[in-house]
Amino acid sequence: MKHEVTKGCGATLQIEGRFENVVRERVDDGWSMADEELPPFRTTVTVDSAKSVIQRNDSPDLPFSLSLNAYRGCEHGCIYCYARPSHAYLNLSPGLDFETRLFAKPDAAKLLRAELAKPSYLCSPIALGSNTDPYQPIEREWKITRQILEVLAEYKHPVSIVTKSALVERDLDVLTQLASDDLVQVYISVTTLDVPLARNMEPRASSPRRRLQAIQRLNEAGVPCGVMVAPVIPFLTDAELEHVLQAAHEHGARSAGYTLLRLPYELKDLFKDWLGVHYPLKAEHVMSRLREMRGGRENDPEFGSRFRGNGLFADLLEQRFSMTCERLGFNLEDSPLDTSLFKPPARHRQMDLF
């Protein structure tokens, strides 16, 4: 299999999903074209005819029980994205397909309104960006995330957002409306301040500088915006932990979190191949340290440890984060989003027609 760097893409492999029953590879068939240039990958967007949009989870280590994803796949192309293996359920590659063959839910706002109107619905903050980024580049055209926020603002429903895109600034008008009633919390993910590393690792996400500017602009507008240092990658980004927190604090962030790199399913092979292509001298060091923090495995799916890791180096990382947060004054306030203001949409009954 040929390993290549494709401009604007994160993955260096078009790996098969774990549910596929065929394997494809480039071969030399005698026509001397094995190394010919293939057509560039182009982003395609397919309408996802979803019947519902609110996902529920009971994971004990997640701070939310409801989530909503407007898109499947993500054009940002972050090589470390734990959502990549979900494309295998569509019989597509978690590699380049994940970042170029996308699915959008244009009826998401309509479906959300219908679900909020159900008599059985219990209000709880909805998390946007739990799987794929709600502000990935195609959101500029599709505007599904904005429509969702408008519905939530209309019914005073709380929402949390995680993104690594400065496009979130576009929706400041709706976000400030939500913030005035304590109905929104935004986190912007800043993985690294190293521009060349960010370009290789998250090729179509906003630059580190723009993300910091977005943190500042949201907070100046009255929208609480914190920073997520996620994921922390041993020997690639872990040394920057304190610097990222310091920079975010200088731009107005007052809440922070972090997670350790996760490598579920096909993501292990994708990430290792990317390391070998871009950082061959660090590749074995990265994986060795990660296995040390994952109990000898390349991935740990267990609740409680999957986001933080185990062992000496995981403990040191947590101590560094805690000490820096204490020094800078992060996470001093822990006020939950307000659920008491929610007013469900009117439910149309037969008698309403008369």
All residue ranges of the chain with pLDDT < 50 are: 1, 22, 27-34, 351, 353-354
Q: How many structural domains compose the chain?
A: 1
- Phi, psi for 335 (deg, rounded to 5): -95, 120
pTM, whole model, 2 decimals?
0.89
Domain that holds residue 232: 44-332
Residue 318 domain-assigned? yes
Contact (Cβ atoms closer than 8 angstroms) between residue 74 and residue 102: yes
Residue 214 domain-assigned? yes
Residue 274 domain-assigned? yes
Question: What is the per-residue pLDDT for 18?
Answer: 58
SS3 content of the chain, % helix, strand, coil (to 5): 35, 10, 50
Quote the CA–CA distance of 78 and 19 in Å, as a whole number. 22
The number of beta carbons lying within 10 Å of the beta carbon of residue 162 is 20
Residue 4 domain-assigned? no
Residue 103 domain-assigned? yes
Beta-carbon contacts of residue 31 (< 8 Å; ≥ 6 apart) = none
Residue 321 is inside which H or E element, if any? helix 312-328
Quote the CA–CA distance of 84 and 292 in Å, as a whole number. 24
Residue 282 domain-assigned? yes
Residue 21 domain-assigned? no
Beta-carbon contacts of residue 63 (< 8 Å; ≥ 6 apart) = none
Question: What is the per-residue pLDDT for 174?
Answer: 98
Question: What is the per-residue pLDDT for 336?
Answer: 94
**What CATH number should be reported for the domain holding residue 250?**
3.20.20.70
Question: What is the per-residue pLDDT for 8?
Answer: 72
* Greatest extent of the chain over all pairs of C-alpha atoms, in Å: 77
Q: In DSSP terms, which residues pair with 187 in a beta bridge?
A: 162, 226
Residue 319 domain-assigned? yes
